Structure formats: structure tokens, C-alpha cells
Amino acid sequence: MPYLPALRRGAPFLAFFAACSLCAAAALGQVTDNQQIFEPVPARVNARAVTTPPPSDAVVLFDGGNLDAWREVNSDAPASWLLLNNSMTVDRARGASTSIETKRRFGDFQLHIEWSPNPLIDGDGQARGNSGIFLHSQFELQVLDSWDNPTYVNGQAGAIYLQTPPLVNASRPPGEWQSYDIVFEAPRFGPDESLLSPAYVTVLHNGVLIQKRTEIVGATYTDLPSYASRCTPYAYAEEVDCTGAMPLLLQDHGQVVSYRNIWLREL
Ligand code: MG
């Protein structure tokens, strides 16, 4: 039986996990066949998006003009998201998932990205403004409309998906622009392709710290989060070498989410 539904019914583990969300995240690699966490719920913080123009040493990934820095995932096909009002938007009319990734690959980086779920609320929980920023193609920083929209806390906006909830909920109402500022440290592999160091990520959501050099315990959407020298990143069809630099990937989850002002500084 999945342990978290048991938690929701008040199993004895509840007090322990409620007091120690990081312990819960750390335990994910060992205990679960259902990786969702429901408590504690991150406190709300009233904050507003930070709009920072790219500094002089940034790689501009999207300035509203074109999608030249992007392509469809694991493909040579050009990115096909909709360009409108200096933003790019998941093209829901396409039907099939069209997640996109950068043509360039990156190791450690600082990333600024702004995003906005569609203001027309058309679902609840994970079905409301769902997208995602896959760091190194593998590790999802969740994008979701988390304004008055409860879901499992390691699946809300700012979560390292199915791993670590955000420290607080700094979400804005749907339709407003929001910002993530991200510092990502890529995993390191040794000459024998063994893992030397996991990935770490620091995230500010609308200027508020929500992930503080959080250890990423492995790739999203594996049975349990794990690292591998050869892996199959999100929306890839085949294994690839995951020991070096990797693209940045934006998720098409079939819901209308827009992005703008995306720039990155290699570290
Ligand atoms: Mg997502």
C-alpha cells in the first residue's frame, strides 16, 4: 500500500513527516511506491514577479522575437509554440505533446525565466496551468497554477517534482506573470561514469527563496529518483549520455502556459 495515502488517514508517520519535510524528501529514495507528499503545506507569501533584463554576459534564450534557440525535444524539428505579445505559449491545438528544448547544452548555470498559466481556470490540482522546467533535461522544477489550488506539496509550483516542496508558496493569481531565478549545479560523474556529486538547485519564486541549494536525488519520472550515466530524459524516446552538459527543456503538459524573458548565465 502506498505510504502517503496512509499518511492522509493519520497514520503514525504523520507527526514525524509534518515536523520534518526535508526528512520526508530525503526518505523518498528508500520508502515509496507513491512519491506524493501532502503535508506540511507551504505557507503563503505575498510576492510579485521579478522582471530582470538579461545582463551583458547572458545567453538570451528567448526575448520574444523568435524561437531560434529552441527545437522540439530530441528532434531537429523547429520549436512550434505560439509567439504572441513577446511570449511563447504551449500550442494546445497541436494535440500531441510538443515539449521543447534548447539547441545548446549547459552544465552549471544561473537562469531567469518568467511564466504565466492561462487565466481561464479549466481544471484542478495538476490539471491547472501545468508545465515544467526540466533542468539538465531530467529534473523538473514544477510550473503550475498554485494560487488557491491544493495538490500534493511536492507537485505544486516551485517543487522539485515528486521530491522537494517549495519552502513557501509565493504564487500569483493565474494570468499574472511570475518569475523563477534559478542557480543549478549539474551532477558530476567520474571517469568510470559513477556519480561523484548529485545536482543541486536554488530557486527564487517571484523574488522569494523557495529552494535553498536543494539536493536533487535523481531524475524525475524514474520509478524512484535516480542518476544514471545513460538516461532517458523527459519526452525522449531513447537513452542518451547524461554525464555532460544537457539541454534545458520546457514541458508541454497539454495546458496553456506562457513563457517570456528567458536568459541564462553559464557558471
Ligand atoms: Mg509539470
- Give 12 Cα–ligand 1 centroid separation in angstroms: 31
Q: Which three cell numbers stand for residue 116?
A: 504565466
> 51 with 261: CB under 8 angstroms?
yes
> What b/e readout covers 20-59, taking b as 16+ CB neighbours within 10 angstroms?
ebeebbebbeeebeebbbbeeebeebebebbeeebeeebb
CA distances from 1 to 7, 13, 33, 142 (A): 11, 14, 8, 26
* Cβ contact 51:114 at 8 Å: yes
Find the 235 Cα to ligand 1 centroid distance in Å. 12
Residue type, 96: A
What pLDDT tens digit does each residue of the chain (267 aa) get? 232 322 222 333 333 333 333 333 433 333 344 789 999 999 999 999 999 999 999 999 999 999 999 999 988 899 999 999 999 999 877 767 799 999 999 999 999 999 999 888 779 999 999 999 999 999 999 999 999 999 999 999 999 999 999 999 999 999 899 999 999 999 999 999 999 999 999 999 999 999 999 999 999 988 888 999 999 999 899 999 999 999 999 999 989 999 999 999 999
User: C-alpha grid cell for residue 121?
Assistant: 481556470
**Beta strand 240-241 with 87-89: parallel, antiparallel or unpaired?**
unpaired
Ligand 1: centre distance to CA 191 (Å): 33
How far, in Å, is the centroid of ligand 1 from the Cα of 253? Answer: 6
> Cis link prior to 53 (omega < 30° from 0)?
no
Environment class of 211 (CB within 10 Å of its CB; exposed 0-12, middle 13-18, buried 19+): buried
Contact between residue 243 and residue 193 where contact means Cβ atoms under 8 Å apart: yes
pLDDT of residue 229: 96
For the chain, how many helices (H) and strands (E)?
3, 19
Q: What are the residues facing 114 on neighbouring strands?
A: 179, 260
| CA–centroid distance, residue 13 to ligand 1 (Å) | 28
- Tell me if residue 3 falls in helix, strand or coil: helix
Q: Three cell numbers at 143?
A: 510550473
Residues with CB under 5 A from ligand 1 (ion): 130, 132
Residue 176, C-alpha cell as written in the block: 499574472
Angle at 214 between CA 148 and CA 26, to 5 degrees: 90
Distance from the alpha carbon of residue 63 to the mean position of ligand 1, in angstroms: 23
Ligand 1 midpoint to CA 256 (Å): 12
Q: How close is the Cα of 108 to the center of ligand 1, in Å? A: 22
In whole angstroms, what is the distance from residue 171 CA to residue 57 CA? 29
Sign of CA dihedral 17, 6, 165, 227: positive
Task: Find the 21 Cα to ligand 1 centroid distance in Å.
Answer: 21
* C-alpha of residue 192 to centroid of ligand 1, in Å: 33
Q: How far is the CA of 7 from the centre of ligand 1 (A)?
A: 24
**54 CA to middle of ligand 1, Å?**
25
Give distance in angstroms: CA of 131 to centre of ligand 1.
4
Sign of CA dihedral 203, 209, 212, 213: positive
List domains and CATH numbers for the chain: 11-266 (2.60.120.560)
pTM, two decimal places: 0.87
Q: 258 near 87, Cβ under 8 Å?
A: yes
